[in-house]
Structure 1
Amino acid sequence: MGTVDVSLIKPELVFFDIDAEDADDLFAQLGARLDERGYIKDTWYDAVREREAAYPTGLACESIQVAIPHVDPEHIGRPYIAVVRPAKPVPFTHMAGLDVPVNAELVINLGLLAHAEDQVAVLQALMNIFMDDAKVEELRRQTTEEGMAETLARLCVEAAE
């Protein structure tokens, strides 16, 4: 498996306080925060909504329900991995096309410039984490932006080994 650039996981990209009714609302709030920090281009919001509609990213794992939305590199200002633990679970469409919503407790938004190879490494690492009850519990225990960023970065490194 490839390596994950964990330098892209930063406390300034961890958000615990987003209270969203649906994925579009979450994207609007996240987009505003990413934009003010210089991570995305003006086309990001429409692009992430269109991509999510065409290729849903909701994933119901045994331990946690997650979503891993992303966009093509031309909508990214500088690379990032944003982590959102919303105030309440946000419904996403199931990536397998199932007619049951995935109520995402955690949303990992990938903003990667070297699309294919970097994305595969990150997705593989995240899947290894989300399939492990103990690792999911470690993420759930985090209460600070710093703790979440450090824990997710460490777990990604471990998962890629």
Structure 2
Amino acid sequence: MKDIFMMNLTVGTKEQALTAMCSMLINTGYVTADFMEEILKREQGFPTGLPVQPYGVAVPHVDSKHVIESQVVFAALKKPVVFQQMGNNQQNIDVSFIFMLAFRDPTEHLQHLQKLFLCLQDTAFMQKLNQIKNKSHLLQLINNIET
């Protein structure tokens, strides 16, 4: 799996961010053509914004049937965009970082989601996340979290 990394993504809305990220996955052949539609639809009904401190994070994902090859896309936004909070559609979250998950195997998806949630609960991780400069730095940061 070759994680896709986007620094300083400049967008005005969550839809623009999700569209840019989905487009990368579709254009590189990692997901089916309907992946974007499914991500946008899922985000409306089951939002993925997480109010972690000090930066909001979103973790959009869909069913594995839309995935051709497992992939994670990370985007650091130049300016935060508004997502709704996971589990509470009425609460807005200013999101600075997005981890879009696309996994073929549901077990693999769950394992990565659990590890990511563990990382996001670590205050030091969140502070370091804001300082990353490249993909290898991000992967090193994630791999250093104990599971």
TM-score > 0.5 by shorter chain: yes
- What is the CA–CA distance in structure 1 between the aligned matches of 2:89 and 2:43, rounded to whole Å? 14
SS where residue 87 of structure 1 aligns?
A: strand
Sequence identity (%): 19
- The change in CA–CA distance for 1:56 and 1:145 in structure 2 (over 3 A counts) is same
Structure (1/2) with the larger strand percentage: 2
Matched, 1:126 2:116: yes
Which 5+ residue runs of structure 1 have no aligned equivalent? 1-7
- The change in CA–CA distance for 1:52 and 1:64 in structure 2 (over 3 A counts) is same
- What is the CA–CA distance in structure 1 between the aligned matches of 2:32 and 2:8, rounded to whole Å? 23
TM-score, length-scaled by structure 2: 0.90
Of 82-91 and 139-148, more deviation after overlay is shown by 139-148
SS where residue 125 of structure 2 aligns?
A: helix
Structure 1 runs (4+) greater than 4 angstroms displaced: none
Aligned to 2:98: 107
Q: Which amino acid aligns with 1:146?
A: S
Work out which structure has the larger RCO, using CA pairs closer than 8 Å and 6 or more positions apart in sequence. 1
- What is the CA–CA distance in structure 1 between the aligned matches of 2:27 and 2:2, rounded to whole Å? 17
Q: Please say if residues 73 and 100 of structure 2, whose CA atoms lie closer than 8 Å, have aligned partners that are also in contact.
A: yes
- Deviations along 1:91-129, whole A, 9 cap, x unmatched? 1111121523111111001101112x2232222212221
Structure (1/2) with the larger helix percentage: 1
Matches within 5 A, 1:6-155: 8=1, 10=3, 13-115=4-106, 117-152=107-142, 154-155=143-144
C-alpha displacement of 1:68: 0.3
Give the CA RMSD over aligned residues: 1.6
- What is the CA–CA distance in structure 2 between the aligned matches of 1:98 and 1:35, rounded to whole Å? 27
Q: Which amino acid aligns with 2:16?
A: D
Aligned to 1:159: 146
